[in-house]
Amino acid sequence: MPDSPLEQLLGRARGPMGPSIELDFGFDSGPLQELGALLGRMNGFFVFNAGVQVFRAGDEGLGPDLLSWNTDEVWKSTYEGLADHVFCFGQDLFGTQFAIVGGERVVAFNPETAETEDIGASLDDWAAWLLSDPDVNGVASFAHAFQQENGALAPDERLVPLRFFVAGGEYAFENLVVREAGEAMRIRGPIAKKIHEVPDGATLHLGVTE
């Protein structure tokens, strides 16, 4: 019997990023129950040349801690409520957040617009989505090429565009800078808020200053 998509993803993973842990979110089923079981098996990992990161849980380890990451203090306060409904368990190279909404749905949260894309009802659906196109959904080839030229990212680093993608910025090396992951999200929170406040048809100029 072939492995499930999540098993296939774990087979490609580099981890763990933290010591063994038992994690119970108080759900008997659904993606939060699955997340607890996943981190119990491998407490944080990277996949697709670090194009995708799943956060570890606990005080020790590499990269962001799952519970701290979902606090206002790290980055969510800059979104002023736009990110309160998403429980983020991982991210891609550009800071797109993989999250659980309402304990029932797995989504991709766009850090520049705070919009969500529904992926499925389980982590297996999420893994299948990633595996269906690793270069697009998992940023695999871009992550490999960028780090070959610029060096490996640290576990707590992600990329931020100088000209935001939502404003027409290119997925090109010269348009990207390395930032600490929390800072990368805090930079984009006010942008997402502005986008939500701008009426249809209005012009909004976006960018990041080095």
Domain ranges of the chain: 5-197
> Would you state the structure tokens that stand for residue 48, as one six-digit string?
């697709």
Residue 196 has φ and ψ, to the nearest 5°, of -70, -25
> Would you state the structure tokens that stand for residue 135, as one six-digit string?
């270069």
> Would you state the structure tokens that stand for residue 58, as one six-digit string?
């606990």
- The CA R_g of the chain, rounded to the nearest whole Å, is 17
Prediction pTM value: 0.93
Q: Are 132 and 113 in contact (CB under 8 A)?
A: no
Q: Are 39 and 78 in contact (CB under 8 A)?
A: no
Residue-by-residue pLDDT tens, the chain, 210 positions: 469 999 999 999 999 999 999 999 999 999 999 999 999 999 999 999 999 999 999 999 999 999 999 999 999 999 999 999 999 999 999 999 999 999 999 999 999 999 999 999 999 999 999 999 999 999 999 999 999 999 999 999 999 999 999 999 999 999 999 999 999 999 999 999 999 877 655 555 554 444
Q: Are 165 and 178 in contact (CB under 8 A)?
A: no
Long-range contacts of 193-196 (CB under 8 A, 24+ apart): 193/78, 193/79, 193/80, 193/82, 193/114, 195/112, 195/113, 195/114, 195/166, 196/82, 196/113, 196/114
Q: Are 58 and 21 in contact (CB under 8 A)?
A: yes
Beta strands in 6-120 (DSSP E): 45-47, 52-54, 86-92, 97-101, 105-109, 116-120
